[in-house]
């Protein structure tokens, strides 16, 4: 009986040991611990970042002002920590890390990243197109930096993060005005941006339109109404070069250059096209402008009637081709007219009286010169008349343009057996012209050939 009882106690003792062992975690990690760490980018704490804990329990927390987070009272065990919503222009070796929490222990898990710096801002500072060295360029915004332009006026900020920036220039050369000295730039990751600052020298030269005068047929001039210009005009300007070097003055009607005067920068005897440089004191220069000019072949006017800007443009070495521009509004009102030519089947030859004569049939070709927009000539009548006398013949021109009229020397023709009396001259002129709207062209008659002598007498 003793032996049996003893065996029973031994079995119970062994069972007790096994049951007690079964009450503990087989890993030996029961209880709770904690996980803490920081989120940094380029060594800078990142507040407001979400860190997620996943394992025996699921939790998430937002980093504080110093970029720190703490998960406390976490059941012991294996976990994965993930940092979420990282900046698009930042790179982390890993945004998820493993951690094993043990009872009463604190595990530290940090997330350390760096910004992606693949963006850049390049700049150029110029004065009249020439690079300007030594100008201070200041970058502010997501990042900041300062540098000066090189000999070509260039600067560059490289290795930048994405974001908003401002570039501002200072320490500018004297006597130069910049339209803008600052610009805002929005950079994406990997973007390259070029910004240019253009300056203009403060000029002292000027040009002013002083007067506009009409040029009469005898070459004299008279005051002209700027709102009613026609034919030849004289435009007088005053040039004051100040401290600058004047190169030339141009007169423009609208956008077209109609007259130019150049100045000798280094006068030479062979330079006949230029005049001496304008002195520091104002100098007057007069230009002749033909407001009624047209194409001799087609009759197309260079300037239709209507309002224009008459401008004087001064070019200087310092200020370029448009250093100074002076403009006044004018109105062009030239009368519609005709341009013509005459040919004869005989001659011209010199007669016994020493004068030039033609013989045979005479053909007149003419084109209308219409300055009024939308007008068109439909019919033309050409007249042969004696200067100081009456009409000799009048004929309607052909309907084709250029219009044509033939005064024939055939029997029954206007010039059959005709001879201009010695000491007299004949004249060819447009007597009448009808427009397509049925009206008659004003300003007629128009002389086509001022003097012609015809000899068909025997």
Residue 300: its pLDDT value, please?
Answer: 95
- Rounded Cα distance between 453 and 389, Å, is 14
In eight-state DSSP terms, residue 311 is E
| Domain-wise residue ranges, the chain | 32-114, 119-201, 206-332, 337-452
Residue 265: its pLDDT value, please?
Answer: 57
Burial class (CB in 10 A: 0-12, 13-18, 19+), 408: middle
Least-confidence region, from 173-177, 363-367, 391-395, 446-450 = 173-177
CA distance readout (Å), 427 to 61, 284, 423: 108, 42, 14
**pLDDT at position 274 over 60:** no
The residue whose two tokens read 């004869």 is 344
Fold of 119-201: Immunoglobulin-like (2.60.40)
Residue 352: its pLDDT value, please?
Answer: 83
Span 116-169, pLDDT tens digits: 999 999 999 998 788 999 999 999 999 999 999 999 999 999 999 999 999 999
The vertex-76 CA angle with 72 and 79, nearest 5°, equals 80
3-class DSSP assignment, residue 113: strand
Segment 307-332 mean pLDDT? 92
- Rounded Cα distance between 144 and 165, Å, is 8
Q: Which residues contact 341 (CB under 8 A, 6 or more apart)?
A: 364, 365, 366, 448
Residue 281: its pLDDT value, please?
Answer: 64
Q: Are the beta carbons of 233 and 310 closer than 8 angstroms?
A: no
Residue 242: its pLDDT value, please?
Answer: 84
| Pairing mode of beta strands 119-127, 192-201 | parallel
- Rounded Cα distance between 227 and 233, Å, is 13
> Phi/psi of residue 91, each to 5°?
-125, 130
Residue 235: its pLDDT value, please?
Answer: 97
Specify the DSSP element, H or E, that contains 304.
none
- Let me know if the fold of 32-114 is the same as that of 206-332: yes
Q: Are the beta carbons of 369 and 299 closer than 8 angstroms?
A: yes
Q: Are the beta carbons of 249 and 207 closer than 8 angstroms?
A: yes
CA distance readout (Å), 9 to 14, 17, 22, 44: 9, 13, 20, 67
CATH class of 32-114: mainly beta
Token pair recorded at residue 44: 């800078």
Q: Are the beta carbons of 359 and 384 closer than 8 angstroms?
A: no
Specify the DSSP element, H or E, that contains 115.
strand 111-115
Q: Which residues contact 243 (CB under 8 A, 6 or more apart)?
A: 204, 205, 280
The vertex-354 CA angle with 351 and 360, nearest 5°, equals 30
**pLDDT at position 15 over 70:** no
Residue 14: its pLDDT value, please?
Answer: 34
**pLDDT at position 269 over 70:** no
Fold of 337-452: Immunoglobulin-like (2.60.40)
Least-confidence region, from 23-32, 123-132, 301-310, 431-440 = 23-32
Segment 435-452 mean pLDDT? 93
Least-confidence region, from 272-276, 287-291, 381-385 = 272-276
Residue 22: its pLDDT value, please?
Answer: 34
**pLDDT at position 337 over 70:** yes
- Confidence category of residue 203, pLDDT binned at 50, 70, 90: confident
| Pairing mode of beta strands 44-45, 32-41 | antiparallel
pTM over 0.75: no
Segment 57-75 mean pLDDT? 96
Q: Looking at 202-317, which runs of residues are DSSP E strands?
A: 206-215, 221-223, 232-240, 246-253, 256-263, 274-275, 283-290, 306-316
Q: Does domain 206-332 have CATH number 2.60.40.10?
A: yes
- Rounded Cα distance between 64 and 50, Å, is 10
């Amino acid at each position: 009986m003793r032996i049996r009882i003893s065996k029973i106690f031994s079995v119970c003792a062994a069972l007790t040991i096994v049951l007690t062992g079964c009450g503990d975690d087989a890993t030996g990690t029961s209880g709770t611990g904690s996980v803490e760490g920081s989120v940094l980018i380029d060594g800078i704490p990142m507040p407001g970042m979400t860190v997620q804990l996943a394992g025996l329990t699921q939790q998430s927390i937002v980093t504080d002002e110093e970029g720190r987070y703490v998960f406390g009272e976490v059941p012991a065990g294996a976990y994965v920590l993930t940092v979420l919503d990282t900046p698009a222009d930042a790179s982390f070796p890993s945004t998820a890390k493993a951690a094993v929490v043990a009872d009463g222990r604190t595990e530290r898990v940090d997330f350390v990243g760096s910004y992606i710096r693949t963006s850049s801002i390049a700049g150029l500072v110029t004065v009249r197109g020439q690079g300007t060295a030594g100008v201070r360029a200041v970058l502010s915004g997501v990042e900041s930096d300062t540098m000066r332009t090189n000999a070509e006026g260039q600067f560059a900020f490289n290795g930048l993060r994405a974001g908003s920036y401002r570039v501002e220039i200072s320490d500018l050369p004297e006597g130069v005005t910049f339209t803008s000295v600052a610009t805002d730039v929005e950079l994406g990751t990997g973007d390259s941006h070029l910004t240019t600052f253009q300056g203009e020298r403060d000029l002292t030269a000027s040009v002013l339109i002083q007067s506009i005068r009409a040029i009469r047929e005898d070459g004299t001039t008279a005051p002209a109404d700027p709102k009613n210009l026609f034919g030849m005009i004289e435009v007088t300007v005053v040039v004051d070069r100040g401290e600058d070097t004047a190169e030339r003055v141009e007169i423009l009607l609208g956008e077209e250059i109609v007259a130019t005067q150049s100045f000798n920068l280094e006068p030479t005897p062979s330079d006949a096209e230029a005049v001496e440089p304008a002195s520091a004191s104002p100098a007057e220069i007069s230009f002749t402008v033909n407001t009624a000019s047209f194409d001799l072949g087609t009759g197309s006017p260079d300037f239709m009637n209507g309002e224009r800007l008459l401008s004087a443009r001064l070019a200087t070495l310092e200020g370029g081709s448009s250093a100074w521009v002076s403009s006044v509004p004018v109105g062009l009102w030239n009368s519609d007219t005709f341009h013509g030519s005459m040919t004869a089947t005989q001659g011209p030859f010199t007669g016994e009286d020493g004068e030039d004569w033609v013989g045979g049939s005479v053909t007149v070709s003419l084109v209308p010169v219409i300055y009024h927009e939308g007008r068109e000539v439909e019919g033309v009548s050409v007249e042969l008349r004696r200067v100081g006398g009456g009409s000799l013949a009048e004929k309607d021109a052909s309907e084709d343009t250029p219009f044509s009229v033939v005064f024939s020397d055939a029997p029954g023709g206007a010039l059959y057996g005709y001879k201009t009396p010695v000491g007299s001259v004949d004249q060819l002129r447009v007597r009448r012209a009808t427009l397509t709207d049925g009206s008659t062209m004003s300003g007629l008659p128009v002389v086509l050939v001022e003097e012609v002598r015809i000899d068909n007498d025997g």
